[in-house]
Amino acid sequence: MKKILLSALIVGIAATASAQTRTVAKTGTPDFATVTAALAFFNPDPDALTPNVIQITDSAVYDEIITINVPVTIEGTGSSRPTLTPQLNAGNDGIVISVTTPTGVLNDVTLRNLIILPSIAARPTDDAIRSDGGNLNLLIENVLLTQNNGANLPVTTNGLSAASLTGATLFGDDGIFTGATAAPAGPGCVTTLRNVVVSHFQGGISGATATLANDGYVGSTTSGTASALHIEDGCVFSFNNRLGIQANAAQDVIINAPTTRVLVLGNLGFAGIWFAGAQTGTRSINGCNVVNNTGTNNAGASWAIEDQNRGTIPFTLSNAILAGNTGEGLVIGTTGTGDVTLSNVTIANNGAEAIEYVTASTGGVVTATDSIFAGNGSAAATQILLNNTTFGFTLNNCAVVTAGPQALTAPGTGGTGTITLNSVINADPMFAEISNFGSASFFDVQNSAYATAGTGSTPLKGAADFTPASEAGIWSMYN
Give pLDDT, residue 411.
Answer: 81
Nearest residue to 97 via CA among 53, 46, 39: 39
Q: Could you report the per-residue pLDDT of 432-465, keeping only the tens digit for each? A: 999 999 999 999 999 999 999 999 999 999 999 9
Give pLDDT, residue 180.
Answer: 85
Q: Is residue 148 part of a domain?
A: yes
Torsion of CA 179, 180, 181, 186, to 10 degrees: -10
How many angstroms separate the CA atoms of 92 and 88, rounded?
A: 6
How many angstroms separate the CA atoms of 334 and 309, rounded?
A: 6
Q: Which of 8-12, 74-78, 96-100 has the highest mean pLDDT?
A: 74-78
**pLDDT value at 7 more than 60:** no
470 or 162, higher pLDDT: 162
Q: Could you report the per-residue pLDDT of 227-266, keeping only the tens digit for each? A: 899 999 999 999 999 999 998 877 889 999 999 999 999 9
Give pLDDT, residue 220.
Answer: 83
**Out of 79-88, 215-224, 318-327, least confident range:** 215-224
Q: If you average pLDDT over residues 131-146, what whole number do you get?
A: 95
Q: Is residue 90 part of a domain?
A: yes
How many angstroms separate the CA atoms of 124 and 126, rounded?
A: 6
How many angstroms separate the CA atoms of 373 and 425, rounded?
A: 10
Q: If you average pLDDT over residues 305-324, what whole number do you get?
A: 91
Give pLDDT, residue 204.
Answer: 67
Burial class of residue 18, CB neighbours in 10 A (0-12, 13-18, 19+): exposed
Q: Is residue 360 part of a domain?
A: yes
Summary mean pLDDT of the chain: 90
Strand partners, 131: 97
Give pLDDT, residue 206.
Answer: 46
Question: Domain range for residue 224?
Answer: 21-478
Give pLDDT, residue 473.
Answer: 54
**pLDDT value at 268 more than 90:** yes
Residue 312 banded pLDDT, cuts 50, 70, 90: confident
Do 80 and 114 form a contact (C-beta atoms < 8 A)? no
Give pLDDT, residue 333.
Answer: 84
Residue 410 banded pLDDT, cuts 50, 70, 90: confident
Q: Is residue 110 part of a domain?
A: yes
CB atoms within 10 A of CB 334: 16
**pLDDT value at 8 more than 70:** no
Give pLDDT, residue 477.
Answer: 40
Q: What percent of the chain has pLDDT over 70?
A: 92
DSSP state letter for 422:
E
Q: What percent of the chain has pLDDT over 90?
A: 74
DSSP state letter for 37:
H
Q: Could you report the per-residue pLDDT of 101-113, keeping only the tens digit for each? A: 888 889 999 999 9
**pLDDT value at 396 more than 80:** yes
How many angstroms separate the CA atoms of 374 and 189, rounded?
A: 38
Q: If you average pLDDT over residues 369-391, what whole number do you get?
A: 95
**Out of 294-298, 324-328, 335-339, 429-433, least confident range:** 335-339
Q: Is residue 15 part of a domain?
A: no
Do 352 and 327 form a contact (C-beta atoms < 8 A)? yes
208 or 63, higher pLDDT: 63
Split into its structural domains, the chain has a count of 1
Q: Is residue 283 part of a domain?
A: yes
Q: Is residue 5 part of a domain?
A: no
Phi, psi of 54 (to 5 degrees): -115, 115
**pLDDT value at 5 more than 80:** no
Residue 143 banded pLDDT, cuts 50, 70, 90: very high
**pLDDT value at 211 more than 70:** no
The CATH number assigned to the domain holding 157 equals: 2.160.20
Give pLDDT, residue 479.
Answer: 32
**pLDDT value at 94 more than 90:** yes
**pLDDT value at 349 more than 70:** yes
Q: Indicate the residue type of 165.
A: L
Give pLDDT, residue 178.
Answer: 93
Q: If you average pLDDT over residues 369-380, what whole number do you get?
A: 96
Q: Is residue 14 part of a domain?
A: no
b/e burial code for range 71-85 (CB count within 10 A of at least 16 → b): bbbbbbbeeebbbbb
455 or 309, higher pLDDT: 455
Give pLDDT, residue 205.
Answer: 57
